[in-house]
C-alpha cells in the first residue's frame, strides 16, 4: 500500500528539484519550514518526531533541502515529511505538508472490529509496522 497523507502522495515521488520548488513557494509566502520523520504513520499519529524545529530564520530553499537530505541519511527507511508553518494572525497553523521519503515497503494498516450491541462496531485501525519495536519497523 501507499500512505497518501500529505499533499503530493498521489503523484510520482517528488525529485529534489521539485521539493526545492515547493520549499521556495513556502519561503516566498513568509512561512517557516521543518522536517519530521516517523516509523508509525497511523492516520491519527499527530506528532511525528521533529528532525528540526521550524527554521524561522532560514530563507534559503537549498538549506531546507539540505535538512531533508541529512534526515534521509539517518532515517532513510522511514516516512519523512516537510511542513510549513504560517504564523500570521487568523491562521497560526500549518500551511503545507508533504511526504518526501517513505520506506521501501509500506506494510499498511489493518482494521480490528469488536462487535457491540445493536450491530455497532468498535474499530481499531492498527499499523502493522508497529508490531515491531521502535527502530526495527522497517528494514
- Please give the size of the binding site for another protein, defined by CB under 8 A: 41
Question: Does 3 sit near another protein (CB under 8 A)?
Answer: yes
- What is the footprint of another protein within residues 22-81 (CB under 8 A)? 22, 25, 41-44, 46
Shortest distance in whole angstroms from residue 94 CB to another protein: 5
C-beta of 46 vs 104, nearer to another protein? 46
Q: Are the beta carbons of 37 and 78 closer than 8 angstroms?
A: yes
Question: Does 8 sit near another protein (CB under 8 A)?
Answer: yes
C-beta of 66 vs 121, nearer to another protein? 121
Cell of residue 45, nine digits: 499519529
Shortest distance in whole angstroms from residue 70 CB to another protein: 23
Cα dist. 79→22, 47, 116, 117, 128 in Å?
18, 13, 35, 38, 14
- One DSSP character per residue, 82-136 reads EEEEE-STTT-EEEEEEEEE--SS---EEEEEEE-GGG-EEEEEEEGGGGSPTT-
Query: Is residue 2 classed exposed, middle or buried when 0-12, 13-18 and 19+ CB atoms within 10 A define those classes?
Result: exposed
- What is the footprint of another protein within residues 96-125 (CB under 8 A)? 96-98, 108-111, 118-121, 123, 125
What residues line the site for another protein (CB under 8 A)? Answer: 1, 3-5, 7-12, 18, 21-22, 25, 41-44, 46, 83-84, 89-98, 108-111, 118-121, 123, 125
Amino acid at each position: 500500500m501507499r500512505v497518501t497523507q500529505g499533499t503530493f502522495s498521489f503523484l510520482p515521488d517528488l525529485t529534489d528539484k521539485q521539493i526545492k520548488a515547493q520549499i521556495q513557494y513556502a519561503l516566498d509566502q513568509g512561512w517557516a519550514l521543518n522536517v519530521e520523520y516517523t516509523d508509525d504513520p497511523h492516520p491519527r499519529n499527530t506528532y511525528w518526531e521533529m528532525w528540526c524545529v521550524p527554521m524561522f530564520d532560514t530563507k534559503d530553499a537549498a538549506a531546507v533541502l539540505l535538512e531533508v537530505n541529512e534526515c534521509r541519511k539517518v532515517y532513510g527507511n522511514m516516512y519523512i515529511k516537510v511542513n510549513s508553518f504560517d504564523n500570521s494572525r487568523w491562521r497560526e497553523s500549518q500551511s503545507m505538508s508533504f511526504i518526501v521519503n517513505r520506506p521501501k515497503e509500506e506494510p499498511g494498516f489493518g482494521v480490528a472490529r469488536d462487535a457491540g450491541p445493536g450491530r455497532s462496531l468498535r474499530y481499531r485501525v492498527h499499523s502493522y509496522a508497529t508490531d515491531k519495536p521502535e527502530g526495527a519497523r522497517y528494514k
